[in-house]
Amino acid sequence: MSPAELPDALMSALSEHVAAQIGLRLPPDRWPELWHAVSEAIGDADAEANTVRWLAAPFSRAQIETLARHLAVGETYFFREPDTFLALEHHALARLIAARRAAGLRRLHVWSAGCCTGEEAYSLAILLERLIPDSADWDITLLGTDIHPDFLARAEQGVYGDWSFRGVPDEIRARHFDAVEPGMLAVRPELKRRVRFGHFNLAEDTDPGWRMDLIVCRNVLMYFDPQAAVKALARLHRCLADDGWLALGAAETPLAPSAGFTRHATHEAILYRKQPIPPATPHEAARAPQPMPRPEAAVSPPDASARLAERARAHADEGRLIEAARCLRAAIAIDKANPRLHYLHSLVLEEAMRLDDARAALRRALYFVPQFVLGHVGLGRLCERQGERVRAAAHFAKALVLLEQQPAGALLPESDGMSAAQLSAALAARLQEA
């Protein structure tokens, strides 16, 4: 049985069941993918009645890992989003290290939550080595966690291809990595020993009892169901020391003060510092938790994101890609669910040759609006550039199907005045050439 044969209400319930246990909320266009993942995790996809039975019990860890293999998004590389690392270096870690030295406590605990294949955790280890010359005399814990077993296995192995090192200075490569075969570098043992990896599900309700000085959880919660994101943020808050810091992804929704964090807008990026939460009154404790604010609830003026987008276009036209990207990140923070902003961001990232990041931006656009035609066109173009012709053709074909549902003369947003008919003809010709 396929998801198309099941009632929408049942598939929606299954999607909510998965979201409650691993955080990920999958829109209807990903329900076939969800069905396949759950069927493999359970090992039983015979009938609608079985689906109802699946909803009655939580998934086991092995089943959650199977779901993660099919549904998790894996996009990372060393020192991704350099502005965040600069903010960590000059603000969060600088203050933490100075405070520990002043107190005579040479201890630091850092957690990369949703570490994917480990590049972020190793990047933090490299940064800490530079900031703490006497790190051998410190008690430093650096933990990387994920729910995807294959990601964790690659992180433990610590061997990466050239694509993971784009933009990384040669000095860092030479100091911390060894060539093991053409195009592959391995993390040196002395750096590898500083990081440990393990399974941790941010959507679970358990408190591991950790008290971290810094938690880096980037580009994870943006894929979460809003209610699951609120719970995960509360868990991260509990896992931080009283003066601990949190770093989120550049495109993720800014936290409100009620989330228990103080916002620190640095020149490079936005960071958050733990704010102790007073005990709740009985009346407050009885209230249901509030979901994460939607983009439309932002206090910024409604046209602020449009002004930032126009500024980004001007910067891009002048070749000032860093400034353009910063404007678009700010616009996305105001209007996160706007696919056109993610599309513009992808164009800037592509121009900067950050092709994986450009693809991730387009996936975010399609996550919010699966029918966004230019999202599929952009992904097809990027897949072509990276030699993935079959995947490129699939995206172009999906775009053609969506274009058939629009009037031939309809002008497509962000397409430089191209009509649905013109783009359809161009895509059809492209598929014939493939």
Q: CATH number for the domain including 320?
A: 1.25.40.10
Q: How many distinct structural domains can be found in the chain?
A: 3
Same domain, 33 and 119: no
Which among 256, 274, 292 is the end of a domain?
Answer: 274
Say how far apart CA 155 and CA 80 lie, in whole Å: 16
Instruction: Give the per-residue pLDDT at 419.
Output: 78
What average pLDDT does the segment 226-243 reach? 89
Say how far apart CA 327 and CA 250 lie, in whole Å: 11
pLDDT band of residue 299 (cuts 50, 70, 90) is very low
Percent residues over pLDDT 70 in the chain:
86
pLDDT band of residue 415 (cuts 50, 70, 90) is low
Residue 331 covered by a domain: yes
Q: Taking 90 as the threshold, does the pLDDT of residue 191 lie above it?
A: yes
**Which DSSP state fits 89?**
I
Tokens of 82: 């350099």
pTM here?
0.64
Mean pLDDT of the chain: 83
CB 110 within 8 Å of CB 131: no
Same domain, 333 and 223: no
Give whole-number Cα distances, 286 to 20, 123, 205, 230, 258, in Å. 21, 42, 18, 17, 17
Range of the domain at 353: 304-433
Residue 228 covered by a domain: yes
What average pLDDT does the segment 327-351 reach? 87
Residue 298 covered by a domain: no
Say how far apart CA 135 and CA 218 lie, in whole Å: 25
Alpha helices in 252-388 (DSSP H): 282-285, 304-317, 321-334, 339-351, 355-368, 373-385
DSSP assignments along 18-39, one per residue: HHHHH-B---GGGHHHHHHHHH
Contacts 24+ apart (CB under 8 A), 88-94: 88/124, 88/127, 88/214, 88/216, 88/245, 88/247, 88/271, 89/127, 89/131, 90/266, 90/268, 91/264, 91/266, 91/271, 92/214, 92/245, 92/247, 92/271, 92/273, 93/127, 93/128, 93/131, 93/214, 94/131
Q: Taking 90 as the threshold, does the pLDDT of residue 295 lie above it?
A: no
Same domain, 89 and 221: yes
Same domain, 66 and 89: no
Same domain, 37 and 101: no
Q: What is the pLDDT of residues 225-234, one digit of tens each?
A: 888 888 899 9
Same domain, 131 and 240: yes
Tokens of 122: 């190793």
Tokens of 353: 């040759």
Least confident piece of the model among 25-39, 138-152, 300-314, 393-407: 300-314
Query: Residue 57's closest CA among 41, 35, 71?
Result: 41
Residue 296 covered by a domain: no
Secondary structure of 197-254 as H, E, C letters:
EEECCCCCCCCCCCCEEEEEECCCHHHECHHHHHHHHHHHHHCEEEEEEEEECCCCCC
CB 403 within 8 Å of CB 377: no
Q: What is the pLDDT of residues 385-405, one digit of tens each?
A: 888 888 888 888 888 888 888
Same domain, 141 and 233: yes
Residue 412 covered by a domain: yes
Same domain, 394 and 267: no
What size, in residues, is the chain? Answer: 434
Q: What is the pLDDT of residues 114-155, one digit of tens each?
A: 999 999 999 999 999 999 999 989 999 999 999 999 999 999
Residue 324 covered by a domain: yes
Residue 65 covered by a domain: yes
Paired with 160 in beta bridges are 185
Same domain, 255 and 328: no
Same domain, 182 and 268: yes
Residue 19 covered by a domain: yes
Same domain, 41 and 86: no
Question: 239 versus 208: which is more confidently predicted?
Answer: 239
Same domain, 67 and 111: no
Q: CATH number for the domain including 133?
A: 3.40.50.150
